[in-house]
Amino acid sequence: MEEQPIIRFENVTKRYDNDPPVLSNVSFTIEKGKFYTLLGPSGCGKTTILRMIAGFAEPTEGSIYMNGKLINRVPANERQVNTVFQDYALFPHLNVYENIAFGLRIKKMNKRDIDTKVKQALSFVNLEGYEQRSISEMSGGQRQRVAIARAIVNEPEVLLLDEPLSALDLKLRTEMQYVLREMQQRLGITFIFVTHDQEEALAMSDEIFVMNRGKIEQSGTPNDIYDEPINRFVADFIGESNIVPAKMVSDYLVEFNGRQFECVDAGLRPNEEVEIVIRPEDLQITGVDEGKLRVKVDTQLFRGVHYEISCYDESGHEWLVHSTRRADPGSEIGLYFDPEAIHVMRFGETEEEFDRRLEAYEEVQPHVR
Ligand SMILES: Nc1ncnc2c1ncn2[C@@H]1O[C@H](COP(=O)(O)OP(=O)(O)OP(=O)(O)O)[C@@H](O)[C@H]1O
């Protein structure tokens, strides 16, 4: 028999009072042992999904399954799910050891087993020797580790992490991204991580759900979502993009800025109105007459690994370029891009239609992904 997904949402809607729904008809599956990220702007419904998985909120409509069993009304304490909260929610009056042991004491586990498990969890998060420390004597990163140890000591099947890195400074945040990812792989527990930081999502996840206004706009691997955004919202939200209105001329030609450019066959009809995306790193600087576009450089910022160059074409459209080559403000340059760098988006396409179209043209263009 095929293994059941660990969590499945089927047409889940959540409404408070008579307000518009905070989640509308959301469906997805979560497989065992993977790292998932819910990514989206503030208020899009990420925390609401976590609360429903944890059992702190019930769907207004639809079904939630865990390992194939309907759990809409199963109370939180009967679910094999633990949550790490943004503010860690540690007990300030208990030391590190007692914070981690708390859940096990409630379960009335015997002292010896508690001791073994707490020590295992401490070693897992590299905090051996900190047992007696009070929480107030721990740094932000260390508190984070205590919160994770306290969650994993219960051996949950699913660990929910609600913006757990947002209180940390940038350096520690990056370090904890590695730590969390590595932990998830060692533990093999399913992680569902919430963030509004797209770089964090791209760096850590096996799969990302990009959310907007109570809906999942697109789900897929970080590469899928970065290379093949389904619409303007996703393209804008994930990384920086040049997005331009365009029109299909034929299977392999798209027109924008009053000119025609070669593209890969995206399964679209001639004359169809579309938008194209070209990522800044896919634009190469050339001599003024050697590129496909002719632009004037406006600003140039040094970003360490590359220059971020903003320029304008003859029709006043801005192009963002990431390049290791310099381009001085005020100068004219050419921009070159491969046909494969043009990603064509169709207006109003659903994720299913998009996947079908992509599958069809990947048979013709297997190198695209
Ligand atoms: N108990 C509640 N009663 C009424 N409205 C609520 C309740 N909880 C959440 N909401 C509303 O639901 C919407 C989604 O909230 P949610 O916390 O899921 O968003 P989020 O994507 O996690 O946002 P953030 O990144 O800011 O935490 C918001 O508009 C919020 O005001």
Distance 44 CA to ligand 1 centre (A): 7
pTM of the model: 0.87
Ligand 1 neighbours, Cβ below 6 Å, are 16, 22, 40, 42-48, 196
The alpha helices in the chain, defined as continuous H runs, are: 46-54, 96-106, 111-124, 140-152, 170-187, 198-204, 222-227, 232-237, 351-364
Spell 218-237 as b/e; 16+ CB within 10 A means b: bbbebebbbbbbbbebbbeb
Give the Å distances, CA to CA, from 42 to 47, 52, 77: 10, 18, 28
State the Cα torsion 360-361-367-369 to the nearest 10°.
Answer: -70
Residue 149 predicted with pLDDT over 80 = yes
Residue 216 predicted with pLDDT over 80 = yes
Element (H, E) at 24: strand 23-30
Substitution site in 15, 46, 85, 162 for ligand 1 pocket (most atoms within 8 Å of beta carbon): 46
* Among protein residues, the one whose CA lies closest to atom 10 of ligand 1: 22
Average pLDDT over residues 181-188: 89
Distance 204 CA to ligand 1 centre (A): 24
Average pLDDT over residues 137-158: 89
Distance 22 CA to ligand 1 centre (A): 7
List the one residue out of 7, 6, 22 whose CA is nearest residue 60: 22
Distance 47 CA to ligand 1 centre (A): 7
Distance 45 CA to ligand 1 centre (A): 6
What's the pLDDT tens digit per position in 270-307?
899 999 999 999 999 999 999 999 999 999 999 888 99
What's the pLDDT tens digit per position in 53-67?
999 999 999 999 999
Residue 368 predicted with pLDDT over 70 = no
Q: What is the pLDDT of residue 369?
A: 37
In contact, 3 and 32? CB cutoff 8 Å: yes
State which ligand 1 atom lies nearest to the alpha carbon of 211: 21
pLDDT-derived band at 367 (thresholds 50, 70, 90) equals: very low
In contact, 284 and 336? CB cutoff 8 Å: yes
What's the pLDDT tens digit per position in 319-352?
999 999 999 999 999 999 999 999 998 877 777 8
